[in-house]
Amino acid sequence: MKRDIIITIPASIDWSDYQRGIDNVTEGDQVLNFKVRAFTKDSEPGKKCYVSHKNVIKGWMLITGYSNQSFKCTTTGKVWEGKFIQRSGPFHKLDLPVPYIGFRGFRYIN
């Protein structure tokens, strides 16, 4: 059975800046990319990707795909290259944020 994952947005990124990226993909015609060293083996498109920032899980988005690419971020202008977990559609904010210590990469969550 495939599982949901959780990722951590670096504390150096201001949530309002990240929110702009979320707002850009709400309609599902664009994606947010999250860089990883390796793709998930026990997850897949359609599963939830929870987002942690500054030691709090803020909400989740659906995984829409995986890519190995180079692109220029439309929010920051930075060029990225490598493997990415892609997310798109609405961000589902949790009613009560859940404490969760940050980490690099992704983890599986039940």
DSSP result, 70-82: EEE-TTT--EEEE
pLDDT, position 86: 96
pLDDT at 97 over 90: no
Alpha carbon distance 55, 48 (integer Å):
19
Class level of CATH domain 4-109: mainly beta
Average pLDDT, the chain: 92
Average pLDDT over residues 6-16: 93
Token couple for 94: 């949790």
pLDDT tens digits along 49-93: 999 999 999 999 999 999 999 988 777 788 889 999 999 999 999
DSSP 8-state assignment for residue 54 = T
Question: Do the bridges between strand 48-53 and strand 4-9 make them parallel or antiparallel, or are there none, so unpaired?
Answer: parallel
Reported in sequence order, the residue ranges of the chain that DSSP labels E, i.e. its strands, are 4-9, 32-36, 48-53, 56-72, 79-99, 106-109
pLDDT of residue 29: 87
Which pLDDT band holds residue 106 (cuts at 50, 70, 90)? very high
Q: What is the mean pLDDT of residues 9-24?
A: 91
- Report pLDDT for 22: 93
